[in-house]
A = this chain, B = another copy of it.
Amino acid sequence: MLKSYIGGGDPDHIRIRGFDLVEDLLDKHDFVDVLCLAILGEFPDQKMRRLINNSLVTSIDHGLTPSALATRLTLHGAPESLQGAVAAGLLGAGSRFLGTVEVSARFMQEAMNALQGVSDPTDEQLRQLADAVVARSRAERRKIPGFGHPIHVDGDPRTARALRIAQEEGYFGRHFRFALQLSQALSADVGRPMPLNATGSKAAVLLDLGLSPEFGKALTLIGRVAGLVAHAFEERKRPIGQDIWNMAAAASEAGEP
């Protein structure tokens, strides 16, 4: 038996998590609702809906990034396959870009395991844990993901915003509190400001809402597909794939290393 509890149906009825697509979902629930139902098994509440929408919107597009370039170059060779071009762009969402919220959330989650039995950690407990984590990372020469910003050395405005929303919606919790302690400990350790950045604050919010690090990555993938489609359509109308190729060829230098 292959047990799967997401969806199913016959040619006539499609069900998602037990809900009938036509009777219960269409025109009654929007995409974000049913996305959450399919992935997590339940509809989102207001604050989760806000988080999901903002995560999806943030992921859509950041210009001519590697993923957009891969989509356009692939479509240039295989203009008949939209799915191939989009898949090519998606494949770059790995450990270095587009997956960083997951990496940062996983780091915080592992660090917070030390306080697993503590129902409501004090600021002092979080501070001590932050110091210990910073010391260990320094010893292991591991970078702590989610901190620092090339421009906003004194604080990323997106972090301030995420903090305000978390407080408004009542889910400012142990992970966000820990992340702020981590920023202080890290700044003291390296001797310059290491503010919690947008990636780090998204990771903290995700965990405070009880969501998994991988759910953060999932939202990135879903949102980015919309942006990659936008690049594919623009490439069909106003192609630049050939120009990118020419540019790379002109700048390339062959020969022996």
Interface-facing stretch out of A74-82, A106-114, A120-128, A138-146: A74-82
Question: Which of chain A's residues 44-93 have a Cβ closer than 8 Å to chain B?
Answer: 50, 52-54, 56-58, 60-67, 69-70, 73-88, 90-93
Per DSSP, chain A at the interface is helix
Task: Digitize A228-257: 1 where CB-to-B-CB distance is under 8 Å, 0 elsewhere.
Answer: 011101101010110111011101111111
A236 to B217, CA, bound (A): 15
- C-alpha gap A29/B60 in the complex (Å): 13
Contact B38 A230, beta carbon cutoff 8 Å: yes
Interface residues of A (CB under 8 A from B): 1-9, 11-12, 14-16, 18, 21-22, 25-27, 29-32, 34-35, 38-39, 50, 52-54, 56-58, 60-67, 69-70, 73-88, 90-99, 149-152, 157-158, 161, 165, 214-215, 217-218, 221-223, 225-227, 229-231, 233-234, 236, 238, 240-241, 243-245, 247-249, 251-257
